[in-house]
């Protein structure tokens, strides 16, 4: 019987073990998409205990607890921290096969050096041992311990990025860079859209009274972000895009309708989003940025809990919307005049894997290896089978050796062991191909692939 999560966890061939231990294990991390709070980095936040670090805002763990029947008071409610932690430890053993079970043990071992199995019987011992070590740690410690060379946060175009400036001038070895996410400008039907235009206009020093002036403001903020180290944008595309775009007159009419107090129809909303993505995509190409499109999330489904807890609290799921035709049309429109930026395609629906892994091949132009990338297994796909399926899909339809690798996509400073999880799975897959005689046992070539996918490709691709 193989020991539980030993040093060769997931590494089922000798080739995989060599690649992981000799090449992958100690590489630095380029985390090009996270939801870490720059304020917590700038302030060198400390955590009062393990519950705050592990359970404060980690909706992956919250979903496990809810599914196992834990009352909400022990998740986001009024229960004490130790009661919440004990509740988590009590139900985690039930989550066999769930990546949270593996991730939590990785976090316990890699961050705190604790080898105990997480369960109800060990909860208090883990609590005491982890908290004793956590008392000597802060956000900088966690980033340094994980060998995070670069971490990109997620920032609104109207943000002043002053805390990023403070971090850049500090002694933190990790480079913390902003990433541009204009969701509030994209979600035209949200109640706060009109008020947001005033905030964005003030930041850009532009009066936003038209679609054209909104695009001008977004472009000015790209320039502002670029001067402060940003090289990546991120967009949540949660509705299908139209294949035929709106023209300038139509876009102005849509903008005027919404500012006038009317909501847009689904069709109109999609036309507006397509117009915005085309406009900012051209700006990204001008600045050499990468445009990340996160497609296929169905967000905030539980209206009762949305009212109680707000958005992004673990009530999202996979959408089965059709996106291929509109996505292809968007990329083609930008590519037609050589204005397609480097682009990463993520989709939450694993049924879209082959769609995206073949879509990326349509717009490669030789300017950058893998100019259009099939993004890593994201969110609900970030598990053992999901990562392996993504790697195999990428390899089947593209060139795996140019893949830019994994991201945390997390709000938790404890999430970096997920990179270790991914690296083990990469080495596992490469090892299986070698052992099956499907790839030569060329350790130099294999090592180059591992270094590239785990570290070097991202650094080159994003220009960080």
Q: Which residues pair with 6 in a beta bridge?
A: none
How much is the average pLDDT of 81-92? 98
- The 8-class DSSP code of residue 205 comes to T
The whole-angstrom separation of Cα 113 and Cα 129 is 9
Residue 452: per-residue pLDDT:
98
Tell me the C-alpha distance between 298 and 264, whole Å. 19
**Is pLDDT at 322 greater than 90 in this prediction?**
no
Within 10 angstroms of residue 205's Cβ, the number of other Cβ atoms is 8
462: pLDDT strictly greater than 90? yes
pLDDT confidence of residue 338: 97
In this prediction the pTM is 0.97
What does the pLDDT read at residue 130?
A: 98
Kindly tell me if the per-residue pLDDT of 57 is higher than 90.
no
**pLDDT at position 434:** 98
pLDDT of residue 382: 96
Tell me which fold the domain 46-137 belongs to.
uronate isomerase, domain 2, chain A (1.10.2020)
**Structural domain 14-45+138-462, CATH architecture:** Alpha-Beta Barrel (3.20)
3-state secondary structure of 206: coil
CA 137 distance to own-chain centroid: 25
pLDDT greater than 90 at residue 1: no
pLDDT (mean) for 103-117: 97
Q: Is 46-137 the same fold as 14-45+138-462?
A: no
* Candidate from 53-62, 119-128, 157-166, 284-293 with smallest mean pLDDT: 53-62
Which is nearest to 331 in space by CA: 353, 352, 362? Answer: 362
pLDDT computed for residue 244 by the predictor: 97
Residue 37's pLDDT is what?
95
- What tokens appear for 411 in the block? 């709000």
pLDDT at 199: 98
Q: What's the gap between Cα 224 and its chain centre? A: 23
| Domain spans of the chain, in order of start | 14-45+138-462, 46-137
pLDDT score for 346: 95
Q: If we measure between CA atoms, which residue out of 117, 114, 138 comes closest to residue 128? A: 114
H-only helix segments in 192-265: 193-204, 211-227, 248-259
Residue 260: closest CA among 209, 201, 222, 220: 209
């Amino acid at each position: 019987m193989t020991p539980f999560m030993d040093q060769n966890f997931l590494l089922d061939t000798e080739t995989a073990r060599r690649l992981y231990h000799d090449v992958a294990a100690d590489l630095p991390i380029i985390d090009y998409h996270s939801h870490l709070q720059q304020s917590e980095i700038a302030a060198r936040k400390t955590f009062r205990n393990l519950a705050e670090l592990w359970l404060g805002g980690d909706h992956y763990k919250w979903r496990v607890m809810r599914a196992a029947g834990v009352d909400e008071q022990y998740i986001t409610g009024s229960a004490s921290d130790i009661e919440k932690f004990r509740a988590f430890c009590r139900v985690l053993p039930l989550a066999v096969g769930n990546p949270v079970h593996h991730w939590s043990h990785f976090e316990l071992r890699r961050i705190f050096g604790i080898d105990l199995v997480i369960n109800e019987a060990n909860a208090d011992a883990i609590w005491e041992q982890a908290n004793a070590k956590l008392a000597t740690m802060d956000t900088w410690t966690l980033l340094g311990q994980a060998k995070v060379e670069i971490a990109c946060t997620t920032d609104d175009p109207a943000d002043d990025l002053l805390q990023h400036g403070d971090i850049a001038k500090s002694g933190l070895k990790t480079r913390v860079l902003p990433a541009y996410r204009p969701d509030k400008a994209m979600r035209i039907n949200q109640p706060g859209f009109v008020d947001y235009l005033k905030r964005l206009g003030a930041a850009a020093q532009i009066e936003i009274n038209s679609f054209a002036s909104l695009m001008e403001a977004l472009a000015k903020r790209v320039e502002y972000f670029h001067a402060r180290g940003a090289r990546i944008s991120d967009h949540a595309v949660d509705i299908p895009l139209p294949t035929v775009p709106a023209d300038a007159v139509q876009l102005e009419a849509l903008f005027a309708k919404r500012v006038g107090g009317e909501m847009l129809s689904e069709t109109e909303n999609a036309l507006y989003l397509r117009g915005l993505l085309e406009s900012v995509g051209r700006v990204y190409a001008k600045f050499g940025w990468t445009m990340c499109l996160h497609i296929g999330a169905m967000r905030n489904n539980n209206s009762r809990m949305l009212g109680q807890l707000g958005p992004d609290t673990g009530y999202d799921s996979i959408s089965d919307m059709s996106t291929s035709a509109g996505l292809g049309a968007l990329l083609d429109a930008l590519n037609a005049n050589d204005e397609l930026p480097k682009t990463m395609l993520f989709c939450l629906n694993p049924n879209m894997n082959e769609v995206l892994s073949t879509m990326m091949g349509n717009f490669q132009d030789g300017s950058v290896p893998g100019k259009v990338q099939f993004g890593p297994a994201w969110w609900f796909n970030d598990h053992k089978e999901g990562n392996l399926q993504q790697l195999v899909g990428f390899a089947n339809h593209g060139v795996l050796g140019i893949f830019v690798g994994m991201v945390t996509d997390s709000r938790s400073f404890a999430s970096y062991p997920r990179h270790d999880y991914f690296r083990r799975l990469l080495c596992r897959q490469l090892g299986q191909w070698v052992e099956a005689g499907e790839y030569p046992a060329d350790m130099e070539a294999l090592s180059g692939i591992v270094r590239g996918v785990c570290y070097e490709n991202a650094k080159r691709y994003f220009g960080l």
